[in-house]
Structure 1
Amino acid sequence: MSLNSTLAKVAGKTSYWFLHNVLKGGTSFPGKLAMKIDPQVLNTLAKDYETIIVTGTNGKTMTTALIVSALKKKYGDILTNPSGSNMQQGIVTAFLTHKHKHAKRKIAVLEVDEANVKMVTQLLHPKTFVLTNIFRDQMDRYGEIYTTYEKIVNGIKLEPSAKIIANGDASIFSSVELPNPKVFFGFKLPSDQPDIDLKASVNTDGVLCPVCDHILHYHSIIYANLGNFFCPNCGYKHPELSYTVNQIIERTPNSLKFKMGQREYGINIGGTYNIYNALAAYSVAREYGLSDDEVAEAFAENKRIFGRQELISYAGKEIDLILVKNPVGLDEVLHMLNTEKDDYSLITLLNANHADGIDTSWIWDADYEGLDKDKIKKVIVGGQRWHDMGFRLEIAGFEPGDMLTNPDDDSLIEEIKNLPTKKVYILSTYTAMLALRKKMAEKKIIKGGM
C-alpha cells in the first residue's frame, strides 16, 4: 500500500468518525477527502473483494439490500453502501467504514449511479453487473434512456468477462452485443400467451424497437415498458429467461406474496416494482449458490430501508415515507396506494434541486387522476415546488380549498398530529425527504443517519 493510500484511508476514517460522532451525519465527504489525497484509493480498498454492481433507474437500493440479506445467509459478512450514497465518493466511504467481520468469501454488493458505472468499474473490476431497468429520470443529468444505457454499457465493456444479470423484460438490456456471460430474469405469468398482441400506452418510455425503431408489441405487459416484447418488423424479441416470477399471489401497500419457480416468497413492502427487485436479488443469490430456502428466509427477514417505503410511528400515526423521483416510479406508487383498504392522508413533497432533477414536468406523466380519492381524507402539499404539485393535484380533481399547502418541516410534523386518519403516506423527492428525516431525527421521532 502506498503512502498516499495510507494517508487517504486515515483521513477518510477520521473524518467519518468526526462527522458521525460530533456532527451526526455525512456519507460522501470522507470519500471525497480520501479521493483528493489518493484518486486511486478505491482500487486499493477493493483489492481483495469480489464486487457486484447494481445499477439502473429504479430499484437499486432495494435490490442491493435484498441481495445483501440473501448472500449473508451463505457467506457471512457482506460489504455494501446501505445509505444509498451511490456515486464514487459514497462507495469509497462504504469501504473506509466497513467493519470487517467473519466472511467465508469477501463480497461487496454496491449500488452504483448509472453515470458512475464506468468510473467505478475502472477501479473496482466487478465480477457481476445487475441491471434493474432504464426509465426517464433527471433528464438534465442522464438525457434519454438510450444515453443512460450507453453510460452503463461503457462501464461493462471495461470488464468483458464479468457476468451480466439483467431484467429480460426491459427490451434495451438485450439490444447491445456484449461478450459477457448473460443471465436474464423476468415475469412469466399464466396470462402470457404467444397469440396475445398488445401495445404499451402512448406516453410510455422506451417502446421503440432498439434494433429498427419500429413500435414494440407485447404478449404481456407487467408495467410501463416491461414485459414479453417482440418486434413485428425485424423479429427482435424477448430473451430466454433463467429466473422467473410465475404468479403474483397477493399485493398490499405493505406486503407482497409471489411465486418464483415452485416456491412462494414474501417481502414486507408493497408495489409490483418491488417484485422485480426481489427477482433480481433471487437471480443473483441463485447464481452465487444459495438455495430457495435460504433466499426465502432472507426475504422474510428483510427490513424497510431509508426512505424506500420506510415505516415511521409518530403521534399514533402509521407513516409510510416513499421516495419518488421519476414518472414510472411515481405511477407505480400511485397504483400501489389504490391497493390500500383503509382511509389515509396523502402528503406530497416536491423539490427541484440537482439531486432531484431540476425539471419537475415529470409529475404530469403520473396518473394522479386514477387515485381513489374517496379514501384520501386530507392532502398536504409541500417542498420548494409546492405550487407546481398543488396545481397538478388540482387538475387531477382534488379541491384546492381542501389542501394544506407550503408548510415548512416543523409545521408539517406538527400538522401530522392533526390528520384525520391513522395511515399517512408521504411521497417525497430526494432532497425533501432528507430534510424531513433530519428534522424528524432532531425531534427524536426517528434515529439519525441513514
Structure 2
Amino acid sequence: MIVPWMCAGGSAGVARRWQFWAALAAGRIVSRFLRVAGRKATTLPGVVAMRLCPGFLAAVGDRFAGRVVLITGTNGKTTTSNLVGTWLNDNGWQVVSNRLGANLVQGIATAVVEQLQRHRSYLEAAVFEVDEATVEKVVEDLRPGVVVVTNFFRDQMDRYGELDRVVDLVAGALARVPEGSLCLINGDDPVAYRAAPHGRKVQFYGLEAPEWLEPRSREVRDGKFCGFCGHPLSYAGFFYGQLGIWRCPGCGRERPLPDPAARHIRVAKGGLAFEVDGLPARLDSPGLYNVYNVLAAYGAVRALGLSQEQVQGAMARIRTGLGRLERFRLAGRPIVLALVKNPAGLNEQLKVVERTPEVTDVVLVLNDLYADGTDVSWIWDADLERLKDKGIERAWCAGTRAEDMAIRVRYAEWPAEIRVIRDPVACVEAASSSPADRAVTRGGSGRPKGAVYVLTTYTSLYTLRDWLVRRGEEEHDDETDHRPSVSRSARSVQ
C-alpha cells in the first residue's frame, strides 16, 4: 500500500509523520540497549518500530520511491546485496541495507531503524536481501525498482516444503512489482526462469563460458523437468547444480541469451578473472557461483543508473565478504571460512577444496537450529565423495549434529582421520594447531603451510568469524594474475 502521509500536509499528515519517526527513535533506543548488552540487535528494534507504526515499511517504500533493490533466491543473497550496497556507497549514495543477512520482515525493518538518515539525499537507496518466503510480504509496501532472483535449490525443507512452493511464492511476488520495475533473473537456472512474470520488465543474466561447462552433472539436481510442460530438460552442459545451457524438447523453451553476461572466465591467484560488458573484473573467490553474484549486482546498479565508468574500479577488485571463502591465518596456517547451508552450496565449496592444493584439514560444522534448518538429511544429497581422492589428512566434525556429519564423511570414503569435537571454536582451534604431515613447510621455520577449510552452517558462522578475527590475521590477495590449466570441474565439453 502507498503511504501518502509521509509527504502529506495537514494535521493528519504531520501526526503520521511523527508516528513514523517516533517508532524509528524507539527502535534505536532498543538497539542501543541490546548492543550494550553485547547482542547484535538484528531483529528486535524492527519489531518495536513496526508495532508502534503498522505502516512502517510502506513509509520506507514511499521515502525511496523506486530506489529499493530486493535480492531473493536460495544462494547468493548476502553477497549480491553487499556488493550492490558497496558499489552504491563508493559512488556517493546513502544506502540502507541489511548487511548482516537478517532477511525476514523484522530484520529489514531493523536495518531501516539503524541506518535511515533524517534528511533526504538526492542519491539514496535501500538494498535488502529477502528470504524467499518473505518477499511476497514486503514487495507491495517497499515497491522496489529492482528485484533480483539468484537461483532456487532445495533448502531448509522443514521451513519451506517442496521447491515448487518456494518458486510459486516468489513468482507471485514478482507479478505484483510496479510495472516499471526490473526483474533481474538468473537465466541459467531453469527453475528461476519459471518465476519470470508476464507483463513486467524482465532481464536475464548468466555465463557465456563454454570452457567451464561440464558435460554431465554428478550432483543431485533440482529442476530436472520443465516447470511449464513437465518434459525432461536437455542440457548442452552444466555450470553447477541445474544451472547451465538448458532446453526443453517438449515446449521449446530454452535458456535465454544472458544480459549481462560473464565472459573469458579464467583462474587467477586467489580467485577468478573475467569480463562483463567489456569491463575486466577480478574476484577474490575461486568459486564460480560468485561470478553469478557479481553479474546480479552489476545488473542491479546499472538499473539504478550507475554508468560503466562508475563501477569500473570496483569491478577490478571484488571482495565477496563475510564468511564467503574468507581467508585468515592462524598459528601459521591458512584458514578459509565459508558458509554452507544446502547441497548445492556445499557442493560448490567442495569443488573449491578439490581445486586447492595443500589442503590438509577440513572442518565441517553442522547445526540443526531453526536458522540452519532442523532437517539435516540434505548432507546425504551433497557430493562429499568428490574429496575421497584429495588426500585430506583429517576431517573435523563439529556442531549440534557433529556425529551425523562424521557418519556422512565415513560413507564418502575419505581416507582421512575423522575427529569429532562438538564445540565449533574448539574444533577449529584443534585443526589449526594439528601437524600437516604432507604439507610443504615455510622455509626453515617448521611452521605448517597446509590449509584448513572451515565449512559451517549459519548459526556458527559469526561466532567462528569473530573468534578468527580476534585470534588470527585476515589475509588479502596480491594483484598477480595466474592462468593455470583449468581443473577437472572446469574442463571444456568434449
Worse overlay, 318-327 or 97-106: 97-106
Equivalent residue number for residue 357 of structure 1: 373
Pair 1:207-2:263 in alignment: no
Worse overlay, 375-384 or 352-361: 375-384
Distance of aligned partners of 1:114 and 1:180 in 2 relative to their CA distance in 1, 3 Å threshold: same
* Distance apart, 1:433 and its partner CA: 2.2
> How many equivalent residue pairs?
441
Kindly indicate whether the alpha-carbon contact (under 8 Å) linking 1:350 and 1:386 is maintained by their aligned counterparts in 2: yes
Distance of aligned partners of 1:271 and 1:19 in 2 relative to their CA distance in 1, 3 Å threshold: same
Q: Secondary structure at the match of 2:28?
A: helix
* Distance (Å, rounded) in 1 between the aligned partners of 2:385 and 2:210: 30
Q: For 1:407-431, what per-residue CA distance to the aligned partner results, in whole angstroms no more than 9, with x for missing partners?
A: 4245325414422244211100111
Equivalent residue number for residue 311 of structure 1: 327
User: What does residue range 55-74 of structure 1 map to in structure 2 within 5 Å?
Assistant: 55-74=72-91
Q: For 1:88-132, what per-residue CA distance to the aligned partner results, in whole angstroms no more than 9, with x for missing partners?
A: 111111111116499542211111111100111132111111110
* Distance (Å, rounded) in 2 between the aligned partners of 1:410 and 1:222: 34
* Distance apart, 1:381 and its partner CA: 0.6
* Distance apart, 1:55 and its partner CA: 0.5
Q: For 1:205-236, what per-residue CA distance to the aligned partner results, in whole angstroms no more than 9, with x for missing partners?
A: 11201111111012232111111211112211
User: What does residue range 285-296 of structure 1 map to in structure 2 within 5 Å?
Assistant: 285-296=301-312
Pair 1:172-2:191 in alignment: yes
Give the CA RMSD over aligned residues. Answer: 2.6
Distance of aligned partners of 1:440 and 1:34 in 2 relative to their CA distance in 1, 3 Å threshold: farther
Pair 1:36-2:51 in alignment: yes
Kindly indicate whether the alpha-carbon contact (under 8 Å) linking 1:69 and 1:302 is maintained by their aligned counterparts in 2: no
Letter in 2 for 1:287: A
Larger Rg: 2
Pair 1:432-2:454 in alignment: no
Letter in 2 for 1:69: T
* Distance apart, 1:160 and its partner CA: 4.0
Q: TM-score, normalised by structure 1?
A: 0.90
* Distance (Å, rounded) in 2 between the aligned partners of 1:76 and 1:249: 32
User: What does residue range 276-355 of structure 1 map to in structure 2 within 5 Å?
Assistant: 276-355=292-371
Kindly indicate whether the alpha-carbon contact (under 8 Å) linking 1:75 and 1:103 is maintained by their aligned counterparts in 2: no
Percent identical pairs in the alignment equals 33
Equivalent residue number for residue 412 of structure 1: 427
Equivalent residue number for residue 13 of structure 2: none
User: What does residue range 71-150 of structure 1 map to in structure 2 within 5 Å?
Assistant: 71-98=88-115, 100=117, 103-150=121-168
* Distance (Å, rounded) in 2 between the aligned partners of 1:102 and 1:373: 58
Distance of aligned partners of 1:108 and 1:202 in 2 relative to their CA distance in 1, 3 Å threshold: closer
Letter in 1 for 2:385: E
Runs of 4+ in 1 over 6 A off after TM superposition: none
* Distance (Å, rounded) in 2 between the aligned partners of 1:94 and 1:105: 18
* Distance (Å, rounded) in 2 between the aligned partners of 1:191 and 1:314: 36
* Distance apart, 1:240 and its partner CA: 3.2
Distance of aligned partners of 1:439 and 1:156 in 2 relative to their CA distance in 1, 3 Å threshold: same
Distance of aligned partners of 1:148 and 1:269 in 2 relative to their CA distance in 1, 3 Å threshold: same
* Distance (Å, rounded) in 1 between the aligned partners of 2:318 and 2:115: 20
* Distance apart, 1:2 and its partner CA: 4.5
Q: Secondary structure at the match of 1:115?
A: coil
Kindly indicate whether the alpha-carbon contact (under 8 Å) linking 2:397 and 2:406 is maintained by their aligned counterparts in 1: yes
Kindly indicate whether the alpha-carbon contact (under 8 Å) linking 2:85 and 2:97 is maintained by their aligned counterparts in 1: yes
Q: Secondary structure at the match of 1:357?
A: coil
Worse overlay, 259-268 or 340-349: 259-268
Pair 1:262-2:262 in alignment: no
* Distance (Å, rounded) in 2 between the aligned partners of 1:158 and 1:20: 37
Distance of aligned partners of 1:88 and 1:445 in 2 relative to their CA distance in 1, 3 Å threshold: farther
Worse overlay, 274-283 or 368-377: 368-377
Distance of aligned partners of 1:377 and 1:201 in 2 relative to their CA distance in 1, 3 Å threshold: closer
Q: For 1:363-387, what per-residue CA distance to the aligned partner results, in whole angstroms no more than 9, with x for missing partners?
A: 1111111116544232211101111
Letter in 2 for 1:127: G
* Distance apart, 1:180 and its partner CA: 0.9
Q: For 1:156-177, what per-residue CA distance to the aligned partner results, in whole angstroms no more than 9, with x for missing partners?
A: 2222412101111111333354
Q: Secondary structure at the match of 1:126?
A: coil
Kindly indicate whether the alpha-carbon contact (under 8 Å) linking 1:172 and 1:210 is maintained by their aligned counterparts in 2: yes
Q: For 1:45-88, what per-residue CA distance to the aligned partner results, in whole angstroms no more than 9, with x for missing partners?
A: 44321101011000001111112222334443222111011111
* Distance (Å, rounded) in 2 between the aligned partners of 1:309 and 1:39: 39
Distance of aligned partners of 1:160 and 1:99 in 2 relative to their CA distance in 1, 3 Å threshold: closer
Worse overlay, 52-61 or 165-174: 165-174
Kindly indicate whether the alpha-carbon contact (under 8 Å) linking 2:229 and 2:251 is maintained by their aligned counterparts in 1: yes
